[in-house]
Amino acid sequence: MAQTNQQDESKQMEEMKKTMIKKILSKGALERLGRIRVVKPELANQLELYLIQLYQNGKIKGEVSDDQLKMFLDAISTKQSFKIIR
Residues 6+ apart with CB under 8 A from 77: 43
List, in sequence order, every residue forming a beta bridge with 25; answer none if it has no partner.
64
3-state helix, strand, coil in the chain (%, to 5): 75, 0, 20
- Give the Cα separation of 45 and 56 in Å (integer): 16
Distances in Å between the Cα of 70 and the Cα atoms of 5, 8, 13, 30, 58 are 37, 33, 25, 11, 19
> pLDDT tens across 47-86, in order?
999 999 999 999 988 899 999 999 999 888 776 555 566 6
The pLDDT value given to residue 68: 94
Domains in the chain, CATH or no CATH each = 18-68 (1.10.8.140)
